[in-house]
Amino acid sequence: MILIQIILVLAFLLLILGFLKRQGSHQLSALAKIFMMLFAAAAIFVILFPDSSNSVAHFVGVGRGADLLLYLLTMSFIFVVLSSYLARKQDQRRFAMLARQVALLEAKIRNKADDTKTTGQ
Amino acid sequence: MRRDTYIIIPVYNEEKVIVSVVKKVLKNFSNVVCINDGSTDSSAAEILKTEAHLVNHPVNMGQGAAIQTGIEYALQDKNIKYFVTFDADGQHSLADVEAMLKYIKEHQVDIVLGSRFLGSAQNLTGFRKFILKLAVKFSNFTTGLKLTDAHNGLRVFNRKVAENLHITMPDMAHASEIIHRIAEHNFRYKEVPVTITYTDYSKAKGQSAINAVNITFDILLQKVIKK
């Protein structure tokens, strides 16, 4: 085994370990968990047998395994960017609703204070 | 004095003009709410000098968010029948507001929209005009409505519309969002000519053309997510 394989396999094992440890607080669906495990297993397999990615690439009509990896990486990158953009929009919306309630409450309190001022005179 | 109408004025860094604008409005309307959208100048203190109600956004959230806050504030008053969105920089005319209120009372419509292209837009430069026309074409194409001006800040609407607008677009895209709501709920709408005075002050504060690209992107994205 060459050094890079050891490093990558260890990194993936640590990743999986961290993922499993966090499960308590993460409300991930069962499907997502299975997918993650399968993904990690496939990754470790490809690290140990680099030529296997070539076979898969040939099967789908891509020249090299490295190219296939790049295409998949590009796709997943775009997916991650888009989903985090949407999540941020959703957060903005919720934040706006929260801030609006704060603003309306503050106005209500100020109006009440004004009322007591005028009746007190 | 009209007591069945609420004038909603979103305010962002308008300390120089806000008092004079609000005072003018208060001559005809007793219910005026200014939503200070996290101004970094003394807009809030200026508004407190007047009889207008003040709602303070804790942070800047955009004009759309401010209008929605104003609507929710005004809706708390059960006597209010009509809601008016009015710009803080003095580019709208009160005579137009009166005419629009008269129209909504006398006709079977839910919302009356101001249009610069039915009326006379003063000092509107060629490039701005071109961008606005383009925005209208795009808006009509996506909503199926027939409007001449998609981004006019002057609007008069009834309670039914106020309760159903739910503006979520924080920035200038809210104008398109309102039009989409009209299409979605089949609100009866009418465009009337209004006069907009583009002062140097309002032009300097106006949105840049590049912002139209941002708005278009957000609107398209929202359509994609919904369907």
B126 token code pair: 């060629």
Q: What is the mean pLDDT of residues A6-27?
A: 79
CA proximity to B67, closest of B88, B40, B49:
B88
CA distance B209 to B196: 19
Give the residue numbers spanning the domain of B119.
5-226
**Residue B102 scores a pLDDT above 70:** yes
Strand partners, A87: none
Shortest alpha-carbon distance between residue B12 and chain A (Å) = 15
Confidence band of B31 (pLDDT split at 50, 70, 90): very high
Q: What is the mean pLDDT of residues B97-110?
A: 94
Q: What is the mean pLDDT of residues B194-219?
A: 65
Interface of A with B in 90-109 (CB under 8 A): 92-93, 96, 99-100, 102-104, 106-107
Q: Which helix H or strand E contains B53, and what residues bound it?
A: strand B53-56
What count of CB pairs under 8 Å joins A to B?
Answer: 39
CA distance A83 to A93: 15
The model's pLDDT over A69-89, given as tens digits with 9 standing for 90+, comes to 999 999 999 999 999 999 998
B40: Cα within 13 Å, side-chain hemisphere? 2
By the CB < 8 Å criterion, does B9 face chain A?
no
Which pLDDT does position B124 carry in this prediction?
63
By the CB < 8 Å criterion, does B54 face chain A?
yes
Q: What is the mean pLDDT of residues B91-114?
A: 93
Which pLDDT does position B203 carry in this prediction?
56
Tell if the CB–CB gap between A103 and B59 is shorter than 8 Å: no
**Residue B214 scores a pLDDT above 80:** no
Confidence band of B226 (pLDDT split at 50, 70, 90): low
Which pLDDT does position B105 carry in this prediction?
94
**A29: helix, coil or strand?**
coil
Sorted by sequence, the CB contacts under 8 Å of residue A45 that are 6+ apart come out as A52
**Residue B202 scores a pLDDT above 60:** no
CA distances from B27 to B6, B24, B50, B52, B85 (A): 13, 6, 12, 11, 17
If you write DSSP's letter for every residue of A74-101 in order, what string do you get? HHHHHHHHHHHHHHHHHHHHHHHHHHHH
Q: What is the mean pLDDT of residues B25-49?
A: 94
ipTM of the complex: 0.79
A59: Cα within 13 Å, side-chain hemisphere? 6
Q: What percent of chain B has pLDDT over 90?
A: 56
Tell if the CB–CB gap between B56 and A104 is shorter than 8 Å: no
Of B61, B73, B168, the CB nearest to A104: B73
The backbone torsions φ and ψ at residue A43, rounded to the nearest 5 degrees and listed phi first, read: -60, -45
Q: Which residue of B has its CA nearest to A100?
A: B69
B70 token code pair: 């104003």
A91 token code pair: 């957060």
By the CB < 8 Å criterion, does A72 face chain B?
no
Q: What is the mean pLDDT of residues B178-182?
A: 90
Which pLDDT does position A104 carry in this prediction?
96
Which pLDDT does position A120 carry in this prediction?
46
Most B-contacting residue of A89, A94, A102, A105 (CB-CB within 10 A), to test interface: A89
Which pLDDT does position B206 carry in this prediction?
54
- Least confident residue range of A55-69, B54-68, B122-136: B122-136
Most B-contacting residue of A104, A109, A115 (CB-CB within 10 A), to test interface: A104
Which pLDDT does position A23 carry in this prediction?
64
CA distance B43 to B57: 12
What domain count does chain B have?
1
Which pLDDT does position B174 carry in this prediction?
86
Confidence band of B72 (pLDDT split at 50, 70, 90): very high
B119 token code pair: 């009326």
Tell if the CB–CB gap between B56 and A111 is shorter than 8 Å: no
Interface of B with A in 151-210 (CB under 8 A): 168, 170
Question: Which chain A residues are within 8 Å of B55, Cβ to Cβ?
Answer: 103-104, 106-107
Which pLDDT does position B219 carry in this prediction?
67
Q: The domain that contains B40 carries what CATH number?
A: 3.90.550.10
Instruction: Indicate left, alpha or beta for B220 from its phi (over 0: left) and psi (-120 to 50: alpha).
Output: alpha
Which pLDDT does position B196 carry in this prediction?
79
Tell if the CB–CB gap between B58 and A102 is shorter than 8 Å: yes
Which pLDDT does position A121 carry in this prediction?
40
Q: What is the mean pLDDT of residues B147-151?
A: 78
Higher-pLDDT residue of A95 and B176 is A95
Most B-contacting residue of A100, A104, A118 (CB-CB within 10 A), to test interface: A100
Which pLDDT does position A20 carry in this prediction?
75
Q: Which helix H or strand E contains B7, and what residues bound it?
A: strand B5-11
Which pLDDT does position B99 carry in this prediction?
94
CA proximity to B187, closest of B168, B165, B172, B170:
B165
Which pLDDT does position A100 carry in this prediction?
96
Average pLDDT taken over every residue of chain B:
85
